[in-house]
Amino acid sequence: MALSPRQQVIYWSLAAAVFLGLLWLLGNVILPFVVGGAIAYFLDPVADRLEEMGLSRAISTAIIALVAVVVFVIAALLVIPTLISQTIALGEAIPEILSQLQAFLSDRFPSMNDPDSTVRQSLATLGEIIKSRSGELVEKVFASALGVINAVIFIVVCPVVAFYLLLDWDHMVERIDSLLPRDHQATIRELASQVDAVMAGFVRGQLTVCLILGTFYSVALMLVGLQFGLVVGAVAGLLTFIPYVGSLVGGALSIGLAIFQFWGDPGWIVAVGLIFIMGQMIEGNYLTPKLVGGSVGLHPVWLLFALSAFGTAFGFVGMLVAVPVSAMIGVLVRFGIGQYQGGLLYRGLVGTRPKDDDAA
């Protein structure tokens, strides 16, 4: 006999509670497995495409792993050290930039020359705080990603997990599908396909857009000679995950730096602004339509809330699972709304009357 709706709610609620409990208790331990699973999910379409070209799953996975190793080595040798050094240098340069800003404002607003001026004291205090915290900030950022557990274990375990999950991805999906409750198999498959559509369209597509735009901004800003261009481009690309935030923050930061660096030579300042305008045109007219498409995404406010809530409750691992869990919750909420609008609670007895009765 099938379980009653009340019993089903109890069982699924217990499953959700167990999942959150394990996430809270084992967050540090499962970090490389979560990251490895995310990498495997992200690369599964690439492996499927290689299989369609006639390669076996093992060879496809091996090719992807080889390319990933080459990219990682190049990043470790060239990009990451430069990114870290520029981030630290930017933190140390901010007090000087604020000092120049103070001098610029003092020339136009003489009242700021007063040592007791609130604006002057605020700028000086802000500069010292940023300088003292810049190194600590960089250390914490990288510690949150790699130092939650031993960095060596993370670097070794994560690629291995990703490799084997990618190799057996299709078999795992088939195995999970065979364990679905028979009474709800069709419904669960439909919901799972909707979650995958959101994940594929938003997460895979948006991450690809972030990577492309981050690379474009970094290279273009470095070519025009902007100091800290790599850091600004990386920040802009990363924040592109949240619509409009990346371009606004990156554009404001880069133009602000360009004003101080290229003061008296407005052509380069305009060039920096044009880089972000071009990036937005490329994203809006080509990247987002092609890579993200018209799939149902995640509202920026809901995404920010999920990242904040899961990050506060479960740390860095929580931030990693925030997007897939929020995508799943979004699909379930839309399903629940559809069920509600099709039921008596919403339609009432009026919605069940035949049209003839209404006409009469």
pLDDT: which is higher, 199 or 167: 167
User: pLDDT tens-digit profile of 229-283?
Assistant: 788 888 888 777 766 677 788 788 888 778 777 776 788 888 888 888 888 888 8
Of 243, 316, 224, 249, the C-alpha closest to 283 is 243
**Residue 19 belongs to some domain of the structure:** no
**pTM of the predicted model, to two decimals?**
0.62
- 198: which residues sit within 8 A by CB, 6+ positions away? 295, 296, 297, 298, 327, 330, 331
Domain match, 122 and 226 both = no
Task: Assess whether 31 and 174 both reside in one domain.
Answer: yes
> Looking up tokens 């959150």, which residue turns up?
20
Answer for the pair 214, 76: CB distance below 8 angstroms, yes or no.
Answer: no
Examine the domain organization and report whether 193 and 273 are in the same domain: yes
Say whether both 85 and 145 belong to one domain.
yes
* CA neighbor of 214 nearest in space, from 157, 143, 287: 287
Say what the pLDDT of residue 161 is: 87
- Give the end of a domain, one of 246, 265, 291: 291
The most confident of the ranges 74-83, 96-105, 115-124, 299-308 is 299-308
Please indicate, yes or no, if residue 3 is contained in any of the structural domains: no
Does a structural domain hold residue 165?
yes
Q: Reply yes or no on whether the pLDDT at 128 is more than 80.
A: no
pLDDT of 59: 92
Q: Does some domain include residue 129? A: yes
Same domain, 100 and 210: no
Instruction: List Cβ neighbours of 159 (8 Å cut-off, separation of 6 or more).
Output: 36, 65, 68, 69
E-strand ranges in the chain read none
H/E segment holding residue 315: helix 300-341
Q: Is residue 203 part of a domain?
A: yes
User: Are 282 and 201 within one domain?
Assistant: yes
Q: What are the pLDDT digits (tens) for 63-73?
A: 998 998 888 88
- Cα–Cα distance measured from residue 124 to residue 195, given in angstroms and rounded to the nearest whole number: 49
Q: Is residue 358 part of a domain?
A: no
- Same domain membership, residue 175 and residue 31: yes
pLDDT band at 115 (very low <50, low <70, confident <90, very high): low
Is 172 part of any domain? yes
- Model confidence at 136, pLDDT cuts 50, 70, 90, reads low
Question: Do the domain assignments include residue 64?
Answer: yes
